[in-house]
Structure 1
Amino acid sequence: MNAETTNLNNASLIYYPNFLSPPLATKIYDQLLSLSSWKQEPIKIFGKEIMQPRLTLLFGETDMKYGYSGIKMETEPFPDFLRELKNDCESVTNTSFNVCLANLYRDGSDSMGWHSDDEKELGDKPVIASISLGEERMFHLKHKTNPEEKYKKRLQHGSLLIMQGSTQKFWKHQLPKTKKGIGPRINLTFRKIY
């Protein structure tokens, strides 16, 4: 399995373009897309409440909770196929994960704005294992104190992007909107909550 390692100023990224075979990636994508528990939640941005431009689900161990931008999410149990994927991500990252935040971007107008996964319950140097399924989308990073330092990556179907070290402390990331007529994308981010 080929990996691309990128070391930026205070950031460490590892990208596996073919982490999942195309048939397995499509099978997991279809299983996730068929779930009925996807939700669109309101979030607070600069004190204003808006509906998130995407749908979300939180998988995890029993009775865990996770929150960001004013949202408090409760977990639903890992389905077997997702637990297997979690185990594979744990083997590659040498990290144990207990939650998976799933995002469903229905088309190019769904997006995620600039943010860092730096909530205190994720610890000081969180390892985030991010699986992309479905349509390819551009993923952007920029340094918090030097916004001219930027990085872009097209995330392909079945790929794994690992963000680790001080990445969340010093960098923000986003999934911008696109005017291209594209279909859905699902992003799975495996995390450890302390």
Structure 2
Amino acid sequence: MDVGFQTTLFEPPARATGAGIERRRLTEGAWVDVARGWLPDADDVFATLVGHVPWRAERRTMYDRVVDVPRLVYTYMIGEELPHPALTAARETLSEHYLAELGEPFRTAGCCYYRDGRDSVAWHGDTIGRGSTHDTMVAIVSVGDPRKLHLRPRDPDRREESFAVEMGHGDLVVMGGSCQRTWEHAVPKVSAAGPRISVQFRPFNVF
């Protein structure tokens, strides 16, 4: 399948580690960690996800009509085997690295396939489940074309604190602390972009 994405030519490291992760502290106890080129075998992971994930197109009610969700999705629930060993190793590495802060492992892996610049996700926080009342973490691994993850405070009076993180091929972004309750994030539409897949590792009962 030709997905129009030029894979990299460099040799990635053998295994993702906790090294190279840099933290940006936000207001109200929220924070964001970023690590560039963190995921090994990113080219192979991307190709495997495109070809082997049972992607699903969803529709949802918006105002008075039913519309297509502008991306393809699939979630690997607890106990389901992930489609690439690098993702399994990444989840284990993240669980180990953040155990002292999170207090539990990452359990699920939600996948989103942004096919081009028209695919997007609107402003939201992962507040279904425990994220609505407790500090938690969502770890996002991105493969494919770069797209910007925008973040803004929920409080409209503090929107000057808004910023964006460009997620490139193999990059890691972790949103932690109160981030899901006190901040929102989005991947807006853009005029042109190649295909990109994000894998969101979450603890139990965080959506």
Which one is further off, 41-50 or 31-40? 41-50
Counterpart check, 1:102 vs 2:111:
yes
Counterpart check, 1:183 vs 2:187:
no
Q: AA paired with 2:24?
A: T
Q: How many residues align?
A: 178
Shift, 1:47, TM fit: 5.9
The residue that corresponds to 1:91 in the other structure is 96
| Matched-pair contact (CA < 8 Å) for 2:52–2:83 | no
Name the larger-Rg structure. 2
| Matched-pair contact (CA < 8 Å) for 2:95–2:105 | yes
SS at match of 1:52: strand
- With structure 1 as the length reference, what TM-score do the two structures score? 0.84
Counterpart CA distance in 1 for 2:64 and 2:169 is 35
Counterpart CA distance in 2 for 1:176 and 1:18 is 22
Q: AA paired with 1:91?
A: E
Counterpart CA distance in 1 for 2:120 and 2:195 is 11
The residue that corresponds to 1:134 in the other structure is 144
Hey, which of these two has a bigger chunk of strand by percent?
1
Counterpart check, 1:162 vs 2:174:
yes
Classify 1:178/1:58 alpha carbon distance in 2 versus 1 (closer, same or farther; 3 Å): same
Counterpart CA distance in 2 for 1:178 and 1:4 is 27
Q: AA paired with 1:4?
A: E
Over the aligned positions, Cα root-mean-square deviation in angstroms equals 1.8
| Matched-pair contact (CA < 8 Å) for 1:141–1:173 | yes
Q: Percent identity?
A: 28
Q: AA paired with 2:139?
A: A
- With structure 2 as the length reference, what TM-score do the two structures score? 0.79
Counterpart CA distance in 2 for 1:190 and 1:77 is 13
Q: AA paired with 1:32?
A: L
